[in-house]
Structure 1
Amino acid sequence: MAICIGSLSVFIVCCMSMLWSSASHPLYNNGLSPMFYEKSCPNAEQIVKSVVQNAVMKEARMAASLLRLQFHDCFVQGCDASLFLDDSAKIVSEKNSNPNKNSARGFEVIDQIKSELEKACPKTVSCADILIIAARDSVVLSGGPSWEITLGRRDSTSASLQGSNNNIPAPNSTLETLIAKFKRQGLNEVDLVALSGSHTIGQSRCTSFRQRLYNQSGNGQPDFTLEKSYSAKLRSVCPQSGGDNNLSPLDSITPTKFDNYYFKLLVSNKGLLNSDEVLFTKGQGKTMETVKLYAEQEEVFLKQFVESMIKLGNMSPLTGNRGQIRTNCRSVM
């Protein structure tokens, strides 16, 4: 146990530090801990899991939607729940950005989780931590791996529409753009491929892949890297005009199961989005070899996915006295 000696001011600071550590021991060097809510809200993770489980049982697609929310939040200002903030007199919501508008979903599930946690542990569990737990549980409920997460994040009091527009990769991104945007977040090419594997669950709207079917290079020609029968199938779902919200699975073999079929499909030139397929067709270096490895060895992919998700979730957290604990994830207190 630490011993506090010296002046009164030193004694107060030291003891406050001890109290903080006892509430969240053991603290990692980023201020987060797997035991953060052990005393203040011991059932926090179980409450989140229960709501997520019910939501995924009602709609399997919700697992992918919640997982995607973590990416779209953490790529802007770090993992601080800025994505959840609605428009207000002082906030321009990230929900209005090109990557999120009419696309990001699952906010009502987050609202429900927050409501349940406020009943059990008022003003205790941050929206930022809720999302990290919900994303992990979404993977597990889809048959994917589980992992220990560190908690103690606080919620931002600001949002960044510009950051959302600039930092989140678009579905038609080139490989160079993907690598650059992941590098900006401290994520390398292995992280890029592993985290792209989250597309083994979920669906995408026609507007996200239409360009590949009809006008890939702006010359009225399709993307010839697409396997022909798969391309024809996609055209039946996504016409050249209309049907913007028609959906196609990102993994056409096991769209609700968290496995490595996403990578097997990339190797077969059946990746739905341009940002998926370029990992293989344009990745003559590390990304191509990593795609091949994950297509052949699922356990290697799952292990790296966990490591990369932990890395993603620990980016630039607000801890200590920074930020706040919102009582409503949609608004600043």
Structure 2
Amino acid sequence: MDKKDEEFEELFRKLHKEKALGYLLANYQGFWFDKQLLKGTITFQNHFQANDTDIILATLPKSGTTWLKALTFSIVNRGKYQMEESPLLHTSPHQLIPFLETNMYKSGELPNDYLNSASCPRIFATHVPYQCLPSFILDDLANCRIIYLCRNLLDSFTSLLHFAKQNGFVPRFLEPVAMHRCLKSFSGGKVLYGPYWDQIIGYWEASSKNPQKILFLKFEDLKRDINSSTRNIAEFLGCPFSAEEEKAGLVEEICKLCSLESLMNMECNTKGETEIRFVAKNSSFFRKGEVGDWVNCLTPSMAEKLQKVMEEKFHECGLTFEIQATQFYQANIIIFLE
């Protein structure tokens, strides 16, 4: 064990730790990480130096990450690839845009060869809270752009459970009684990268102070008007669509290529696996992508608990989320017992 590993082990030993959902989580800078994730995060913090042209896509897990990756890749590279030649047609968005803490700096690795050879603008992704980003970014030593995408807590929680089920991570937690244990941990903030509300508020406040550097988006707004959101992203990145591109319908072409229906039917996203923090089925990154689908998965009491958490945590900063549910409640959590 080298000196850096010894220092990390000593740090991890001193951190407050709790068990939640089968993980031993350590609280670091106010957020929860398991040991492997924390090591990658700290290495990312200590060694990543952003370029002015870098683009960082920040999200919470299961909040539209794959969609944002596909959209941003297509917007930035629209002059390089025709839509019918897009790498998205044969490559997963997660392979085109790597996660910093779980791919690039996984287990303390230093991916200098990739970082030095990647073409500009480099696009990276992260689930790391704003408060835990490298000081190189927080101190504005680089003018990189950050796009943050979040989602209402009810749909995020529902999507996390489906993802866990599809990849067979914690099947015992999908039993009716254990669903409430999952909710207790989630609503108490004890989940990887959580508390979710603290992360959302961190990026929200940072974007309010520096809107030229951080674009704050909601999954629900993308669903409501993806064309306008795509134009907004392009404008923020300094590459707005020209009048000629608008006339040619390029915005609509990109939105169609990157739609959930399109992505989930591509062979590269229906077969095979992708290694992020773990190995996950490519198909598990795609489901319904609907606002309000939690109504088919959560009991009324579970939904009420999460709504109260949202009201309590977001009231002071003025953030609101659409949580519409236009369907009737189905039999309690039958979806997880099929």
Using the size of structure 1 for normalisation, the TM-score is: 0.27
Q: Which has the larger radius of gyration?
A: 1
Using the size of structure 2 for normalisation, the TM-score is: 0.27
Task: Report the structure, 1 or 2, having the larger strand content.
Answer: 2
